Amino acid sequence: MNALVQDVDKRAPEVQGRGTTLESLKQWVDQVAALARPAAIHWCDGSDAENAALVAKMEADGTLIRLNEETNPGSWLHRSHPDDVARVEHLTFVCTSEQDDAGPNNHWMSPADGHAQMDSLFEGCMEGRTMYVIPYCMGPIDSPISRCGVEITDSPYVVANMRIMTRMGEAALQRIEREGTFVRGLHSTGELDPNRRFIMHFPEELTIKSYGSGYGGNALLGKKCHALRIASHQARQEGWLAEHMLILGIENPQGETHYVAAAFPSACGKTNLAMLIPPEGYREKGWKVWTIGDDICWMRPGPDGRLYAINPEAGFFGVAPGTSAKSNPNALATIAKNTIFTNVGVTADDGPWWEGLDDGQPVTDWRGNAYDAANGPAAHPNARFTVSAKQCPSYSEHAEDPTGVPISAIVFGGRRASLVPLVFEARDWTHGVLVGAAMGSETTAAATGAVGVMRRDPMAMKPFCGYNFADYFAHWLSFDNGRNKLPKVFHVNWFRKGDDGKFLWPGFGDNLRVLEWMIGRVEGRADAVETPIGALPREQDLDLEGVQLSGEAREKLFGFDRDGWRAELVSIGDYLREYGPRMPQALHDEQARIAASLD
């Protein structure tokens, strides 16, 4: 009998770390260990020593490659599997009891089938590996808006990234133990086989299961999986909003700051806008821009009825290609040290390189091969950097405010080469919800599939809403309850093109000119022209000093194509009807109102 007990003990995984006092968490970890059969269980505490040991382990096995310590101190390169470089929307499921609750905007599987499929993949998948238990908090550790989770993974790369992207470790575990609730995330890289790769969400159970991918959006479960798909479900139940939005503060020369939340699809300039540097003339007058967050925004009404927002993330998981001294000098300064780069090229002196950089030449591409332009770009188009938000020169200390920051304006926008003007303001909240619901954009490299195809991407949440879009729109509409003081809603299009195929608006820092007009509208002092699609500024309503715009640019950026919008409203009506009887009648009525006014 003693020999049998000793034999069992030998097979039991070694446990590293303090474990937990929360029985439900301990039981779940034990259940996962019994299923996945790891060699060891490591409870992450988020300490510097723990991180140093993990990084050393990854350097030794080639998971991380050290970059030039003089030019990029504390920075590393990770190369993912060539078939594992982006989010896999077609393999991402929402598992609700009723299929209609997931909606036509999600791939659905029943919870029983989803668990069965995933558990068969997890069976024994961590044999010989360490199982890491990552307690984390999304948002400031003491914010009532924040929510906690625990990710179990066999990837030290995921641990290192989650340490940057969340408040991870002992403080988060203590909050979890106090509250007794947490989002459960189970992840394994598996064999990195595209045919054995799934990301399953169980909103009713606050559970995520991800297998077969090491890519950030599929493996860092605090990010899109928790902070949007699961959190959107939580937010609907609890009366708040979990959105795919950047948050920035705009400080005028009088020292007054307005905060703006803006939704753009991935790789459409969220990070660039969040870290915007004002044009020289604006800087001389005293304008400043502050970065709260570049990707995700959680908002809830405060005691005064205004929406208050936090950035649930602690870091940036940004797209590297296109990031340059022209497009985003703040981002370049942010990633100069202590950064994990994924799938970028490398220069002769071991510096990171990607298309869009002004300096350096790549000698190695993102696959690790000698660089040859004939074989494609040096960096994968969706190459990434992971870095602490606190390293950003424009980072705002108010990003840590437990109460969040008050939102003055919500902005929707996507890539539209034609039709959509530079900016317009929604008539009211209902119109604003329709504007967000009808948002269209051309697809980018952030997800697998064709690039450049126009698709509806409501509120930039198409891949991320954890439940039926019709119910999601109804939830948005519910905030107009007579008590809340809701922000104004705008739509922007930085990507309008001329007949020559080139962008008509300079973008980048000059986008502040548009934001200034929005703030003027919020404060009731900026003029506009009323049109059926909303209030449009005239050229003279924006400060265009120093901006060279052609006649075509002025016409298309500030103009209104009635015939084109008639066709657009028909398309929007068709889109709303795809959701059947659950679609709020208020949005059908709003679409009909605008269509009638166009006639």
- 511 carries a ligand binding annotation: yes
Lateral strand order in the sheet of 65-66: 65-66, 76-78, 340-342, 384-388, 315-319
Token pair 């959105």 is found at 243
Catalytic residue among 44, 125, 137, 268: 268
- 30 carries a ligand binding annotation: no
Task: Kindly give the pairing relationship between strand 340-342 and strand 92-94.
Answer: unpaired
Could you give the CA distance from residue 545 to residue 543 in angstroms, rounded to a whole number? 6
- 271 carries a ligand binding annotation: yes
Token couple for 216? 């950030």
Q: What would you report as the CA-atom Rg of the chain, rounded to the nearest whole angstrom?
A: 24
Token couple for 479? 């905030």
The distance in angstroms from the start CA to the end CA of the chain is 87
- 322 carries a ligand binding annotation: no
- 365 carries a ligand binding annotation: no
- 215 carries a ligand binding annotation: yes
- 297 carries a ligand binding annotation: no
- 382 carries a ligand binding annotation: yes
- 510 carries a ligand binding annotation: yes
- 266 carries a ligand binding annotation: yes
- 415 carries a ligand binding annotation: yes
- 188 carries a ligand binding annotation: no
Kindly tell me the number of DSSP H helices and DSSP E strands found in the chain: 18, 31
Could you give the CA distance from residue 281 to residue 355 in angstroms, rounded to a whole number? 29
Could you give the CA distance from residue 286 to residue 433 in angstroms, rounded to a whole number? 34
By CB neighbour count within 10 A (0-12 exposed, 13-18 middle, 19+ buried), where does 114 fall? buried
- 508 carries a ligand binding annotation: yes
- 592 carries a ligand binding annotation: no
Contact 154, 129 (CB under 8 A): yes
- 574 carries a ligand binding annotation: no
- 217 carries a ligand binding annotation: yes
Residue (of 97, 187, 111) closest to 151 by Cα position:
187
Could you give the CA distance from residue 393 to residue 134 in angstroms, rounded to a whole number? 29
Could you give the CA distance from residue 391 to residue 331 in angstroms, rounded to a whole number? 9
- 26 carries a ligand binding annotation: no
Distance of CA 471 to the CA centre of its chain: 21
- 383 carries a ligand binding annotation: yes
Residue 268 known to be catalytic: yes
| Residue 481 DSSP code | S
Please enumerate in sequence order all residues whose Cβ is within 8 A of that of 360, keeping only pairs 6 or more positions apart, or say none: 347, 351, 353
Beta partners for residue 134, in sequence order: 151
- 267 carries a ligand binding annotation: yes
SS3 566: helix
- 51 carries a ligand binding annotation: no
Residue 163: phi and psi, rounded to 5, are -65, -35
Q: Which residues are annotated as a binding site for Mn(2+)?
A: 224, 244, 295
Q: Which residues are annotated as a binding site?
A: 87, 215-217, 224, 244, 266-272, 295, 382-384, 415, 508-511
Residues catalogued as catalytic: 268
Q: Which residues are annotated as a binding site for GTP?
A: 267-272, 384, 415, 508-511
Q: Which residues are annotated as a binding site for substrate?
A: 87, 215-217, 266, 382-384
